[in-house]
A and B are shown apart, each in its own frame.
Chain A
Amino acid sequence: MADQTNEEITITIKSSGDKKYSLTVLPSLTIAELKEKISHEADVPTDRQRLIYSGRVLKDADTVASYKIQSGHTIHLVKSAGTGSGSGAGSGAGTSSSLSGTNTGSRTAGAQSSGNTDSSTSAPSNIAAGTGAFNPLAGLTGARYAGYNVPMPSASMFGADGGMDSLPDENQLSEMLESPGMQAAMQQMLSDPQMLDFLIQQSPQLRSMGPMAREMLQSDYMRQMLTNPQMMRQMMQMNRTLGGLGGGLGGSGGSTTPFPAPGPTGANANTDSNSNESREGSANNTNSPLAGQASSASASSAAAAANPFAALFPNGTPSAQANPFASLLAGGNFGAGGAGSGAGSVDGYALRKWSWRGRLSSC
């Protein structure tokens, strides 16, 4: 077979979330060149690609032929976290996301087009959350809700070929959020009075807020925050920065990481019956009656805990080039939300209240 190096072969590149790409290549191609080709198809930069075939990590200098890859075979594409996979998830993820934090900061939140990776791709078909969420009330009593979407640290999540083979990473999650079905479901849920009642009823924090909780959940701002994939992505990135030792997305609520994942918390709070736990998890961390549902609040308060001054800045990164006050003034965007409640948790309830009122009225 080694003498067939001038005949083109067709191989499949399989990436996470059931994405597949078909490539026709010459076997004499080097792996580095192959990655270059893949980068056009899959929108993953070559230095973040790791290719695995038949139990081996492919080395850049070798050729396709040297691994005896044949037509019809599949290469797995694993995206590294943009860290070059340094030692431990923590340090690596931290650096990369603080970079993106600066990046988003300079654009003062709001309508960012998140520049990185494949935000344009469709949602992975195997994530059932979309369909499940279309009928939220049916699932409220059903245990099936626990099966997906709630990141439970149980080993059964990783079952062989089981629907969700692993926890979604932030790309997958934002892909999911970007699917029109998911967005529609979120919108629908947030405008469903019964659902709102249920959410409020379930959370002591929300209950204690009285009618304001309702108003807040129904506000356009809240809706925008929960349905805007870019925003969710930002929050997830921020969580990675703040969460220290990686894996911020995982675990149930605050039990596994020092701070709960703001992204999933926000999403879960409106999609499953277990939202209660994750919601309380985040609320406990911040002591804020608002934190439960305001994902941005928990994120910024987390920043406050790590660095009290960082919380004053919209993205928790003092090096952000944006003028922090600009985003305070720009109501209705995430930057304002983050900065507002972040500052609140440092400076007391009055400011927090102020910032919420400001946002509500700006909606």
Chain B
Amino acid sequence: MSKVPRNFKLLEELEKGEKGLGAESCSYGLRDADDITMTHWNGTILGPPNSNHENRIYSLTLTCDENYPEKPPIVKFHSKINLPCVDSKKGIVDPSKFAILGNWKRSYNMEIILLELRKEMANGINRKLPQPAEGTTF
């Protein structure tokens, strides 16, 4: 199977994000619409219901360097969150604790990352973890 080149893939993701074609629980787009390298992205995750994350909106950044999608983007939470796979100081998602990044496949995309993070929030213990006040940032 032929590989989708980086820019095509990112353009596709950009369109999907802007037009809201994906899941409604998360959103993503270029931080700066004029960034022709399509490196810096913003993302939001709507906290899953029935958890301490309910009704919260988490902002994060995703950095897709030139190795994307061979390598996963660097994912960093902007909103403070208490989650085992997220570095408690810097907000960076640790690939060794988050399978989607750790076992990255080039067929994955940013939406999958966001949705998987949301699942992570809804998981057994994680959903009841005490969370920092909403609005605080890393």
Residue A132 at the chain B interface, CB threshold 8 Å: no
Shortest beta-carbon distance from A9 to chain B in Å: 12
Q: Which residues of A contact B133 (CB under 8 A)?
A: 87
Q: Which residues of A contact B41 (CB under 8 A)?
A: 55
Known: A153-B50, A169-B49, A250-B49. A92 touches B18 (CB 8 A): no
Residue A167 at the chain B interface, CB threshold 8 Å: yes
Q: Which residues of A contact B31 (CB under 8 A)?
A: 55
B50 touches A249 (CB 8 A): yes
A155 touches B50 (CB 8 A): no
In angstroms, Cα B42 to Cα A50, docked, is 16
Most A CB within 10 A of own CB, among B25, B28, B60, B133: B25
Q: How large is the interface on A (under 10, 10 to 19, 20 to 34, 35 or more residues)?
A: 35 or more
From the candidates B28, B52, B54, B57, name the one contacting A50 in the complex (CB within 8 A). Answer: B57
- CB within 8 Å: A-B pair count: 121
Q: Which residues of B contact A68 (CB under 8 A)?
A: 33
In the complex formed, the residue of B with least CB distance to A151 is B50
Q: Count of chain B residues with Cβ under 8 Å from any Cβ of A? A: 43
Binds B, one of A22-30, A70-78, A329-337: A70-78
Shortest beta-carbon distance from B81 to chain A in Å: 13
Q: Which residues of A contact B134 (CB under 8 A)?
A: 85-87
Shortest beta-carbon distance from B136 to chain A in Å: 10
Residue B39 at the chain A interface, CB threshold 8 Å: no
A interface with B by C-beta (< 8 Å): 12, 14, 16, 50, 52-57, 68, 70, 72-76, 78, 80-81, 83, 85-89, 92, 151, 153, 155, 157-161, 165-167, 169, 245-247, 249-251, 256
